[in-house]
Structure 1
Amino acid sequence: MQTIFRIGTRGSPLAMAQAHETRERLMAAHGVPAAAFEVIAMSTSGDRIQDRPLSEAGGKGLFTKEIEEALFAGRIDIAVHSSKDMPTRLPEGLELSAFLPREDARDAFVSNVAKTIADLPQGAKVGSSSLRRQALIRRMRPDLDVVMFRGNVQTRLRKLDEGVAAGTILAHAGLKRLGLDHLVTDLMPLDIFPPAPGQGAIGIETRIGDREAERMLAAIHHVPTGQALACERAFLAALDGSCRTPIAGYAAIEDEDLSFRGLIISPDGTQSHTVELQGPAGDAVRIGDEAARIVRAKAGETFFDSWL
């Protein structure tokens, strides 16, 4: 490589771990040293806004806006993201070009006082900033007091130690990437506590037409993860999914076959609709679109408007 390849990311410990994983995979794939890369950490609006839910502040794009501006301007060559933080509509001129092999997509329950959510005392506080997680917690335990929990993984763990809440839900993939897997109290089954679309997958964004970036990333792109994410993101996009909409979706790839299960749920956890579809992995986008049409027909058009 003649010039340094610049990798943009958020500055949180998890985001940095994901950027370093990307760098290491690129180093191994192309036989180049760490000195050929520069990891550039940036603060995003989503990191700075801590006093209210993202749904009130502007949605998922708050975690990507500044990074995407740097990418579009050419100050970085690629942007590394947690795929579940990515809006379904990207800025004109940018695209998701590669995905790394997906980690465990399940959510993890972490608590200092109980082994499972079922073991929590009546009325205990559980912290989460995710509308999906809040709704699923309320469906499991309507008696619990679900409180807003913003901040990076370390901040949320500190709040547990300070007694702000008796438990919280975090992505198992993030805890594993941070070497904090030992803190997991219980893993939530996919059928009972389905994940956010894209959870556990690292997505890499580029400028459309950047041939050098495409060449570099082609060597580390994981095709099955890309197919699964194409399905999940199509489901989310067709439902106009945002931080105001509790939506879950997970696609599994085995050989050339794809199995998808999607869920929409009311914020209070009392109403939900599911859909399950299978088909060829090459039809991932069509399956996601069809799943969204099915679940929307089940729920009715007013389901998505009732809590806005």
Structure 2
Amino acid sequence: MAIKFKLGTRGSPLALTQANMVRDALCARHGWPVDAIERVVIRTTGDRVQDRALAEIGGKALWTKELDRALLDREIDASVHSMKDVETLRPEALVIAAMLPRADVRDRLIGADAIDALPHGAVVGTSSPRRRAQLLRLRPDLSIVLFRGNVDTRLAKLAAGEADATLLAAAGLDRLGRDTIGHAIPTDVMLPAPAQGAVGIEVRSADAAAQAIVGAIDDDVTSRCVRAERALLAALRADCQSPVAALASAAGATLSLRAELLAEDGSAFVDGHAEGLIGEAIAAGLAGDLLSRAPDPVRRLFGG
């Protein structure tokens, strides 16, 4: 069968694995052979620049702008994203048409059995403002150093002794067959990043055919939860420098949203939760409540 659908993806091992997951889901849903979908690898700025924090070189758009260009220029029909790496505000010409069922949302600690088990003054590698702030709130004695790169790069840095420990998303490790690496941190100890563990597929807003093709594999619960978490980010006017954690869950039609905002050094924080039927409304209400109660070192990091 001739190629009929082009799927854009970054070129990291995890991104390629996730693109294959989307391909397989589309083929299963539509009865297509595997060669009906062409995987198009697009290298992003975020993949090329590994020695600086995202906030210094353009934020989360570094993971998406090249994929966006390819999609808008019709070089691809859809693009695959790790949803936690997608900016909250997207171009109107693009739409997230589906999300795959969410994987494990937790972080995994590699280098120790638990955060409490890290030696005093241990060096932990991460590039995440959220993880940095949460670690320092729990363990102010820790030293945090910049770790960027794909899973193998960060594990290699750890093996080379550049840090005593690091944190990686459980979902990514599981998808790469590394499910025995590290120790999962309960969400009541470290709440995850908004949208962590979710894979999204984006298409052109005007491409009704692609929206129908991709929409057929959407996992409704994942979409509802992740959209609520992203709505919280929008209501907070958070960016890639904002230490924020959030996790939504669904019980029938009711959504429950938990969130935490932190000072950069973990010295102050505020948390809360809300429930309701409409994700955007829950997120807006929770954002207002958190900001109204947040200490100044936290509040000044939000609001745009």
Q: Tell me if structure 1 keeps the 8 A contact 2:100–2:218.
A: yes
Q: Which amino acid aligns with 2:110?
A: V
Cross-structure match for 2:138: 140
Q: Does the CA-based 8 Å contact 2:242-2:301 persist in structure 1?
A: no
Aligned twin of 1:287? 282
Equivalent-residue separation in structure 2 for 1:287 and 1:203 (angstroms) = 22
Select 1:253's aligned residue among 239, 244, 250. 250
Once the 2 structures are TM-superposed, how far is the Cα of residue 47 of structure 1 from its aligned partner?
Answer: 1.1
Q: CA deviation at 1:166?
A: 0.9
1:251 match: secondary structure = strand
Shift of 1:52: 1.1
What is the letter of the counterpart of residue 292 of structure 1?
A: A
Q: Please report the TM-score for the alignment, with normalisation by the length of structure 2.
A: 0.96
**Which sections of structure 1, spanning at least 5 residues, go unmatched?**
none
Aligned residue runs from structure 1 range 268-287, under 5 A: 268-280=265-277, 283-287=278-282
Amino acid at match of 2:13: P
1:176-215 matched pairs, under 5 angstroms: 176-184=174-182, 186-215=183-212
Q: Is the 8 A contact 1:197 1:250 kept in 2?
A: yes
1:124 is matched by which residue type in structure 2?
A: A
- Deviation of residue 2 (structure 1)? 6.4
Task: Write the deviation string for residues 140-181 of structure 1: whole angstroms up to 9, x where unpaired.
Answer: 111111110010011001111111111101000000000001
Q: C-alpha deviations, 1:5-63, integer Å up to 9, x for none?
A: 00001110001110000000001001111110011111111111112111111111110
- Distance in 2 of aligned mates of 1:255 and 1:228: 12
Q: What corresponds to 1:58 in structure 2?
A: 58
Separation (CA, whole Å) in 2 of partners of 1:259 and 1:116: 27
Alignment of 1:145-164 (within 5 A): 145-164=143-162
Inter-partner Cα distance in structure 2 for 1:301 and 1:206 = 40
1:5 alignment partner in structure 2 = 5
Shift of 1:290: 1.1
1:234 aligns to what SS in structure 2? helix
Partners of 1:29 and 1:301 lie apart in 2 by 50
User: Does the residue aligned with 1:232 lie in a helix, a strand or coil?
Assistant: helix
Offset of residue 302 of structure 1: 6.7
1:240 alignment partner in structure 2? 237
Q: TM-score with structure 1 length normalisation?
A: 0.95
Q: Is the partner of 1:182 in helix, strand or coil?
A: coil
- Tell me how far apart the structure 2 counterparts of residues 121 and 248 of structure 1 sit (CA, whole Å): 25
Q: Does the residue aligned with 2:180 lie in a helix, a strand or coil?
A: helix
| Aligned with 2:264 (options 263, 267, 276) | 267
Q: Indicate the RMSD between aligned Cα atoms, in angstroms.
A: 1.6
SS in 1 for 2:47: helix
Match in the other structure for 1:229: 226
How far apart are the structure 2 equivalents of 1:78 and 1:2? 17
Describe the shift of the 1:174–1:306 C-alpha distance in structure 2 as closer, same or farther (beyond 3 A): closer
Size of the alignment, in residue pairs?
303
Contact preservation (8 Å) 1:245, 1:304: no
2:279 aligned partner, one-letter code: A
Say whether residues 1:171 and 2:169 are aligned partners: yes
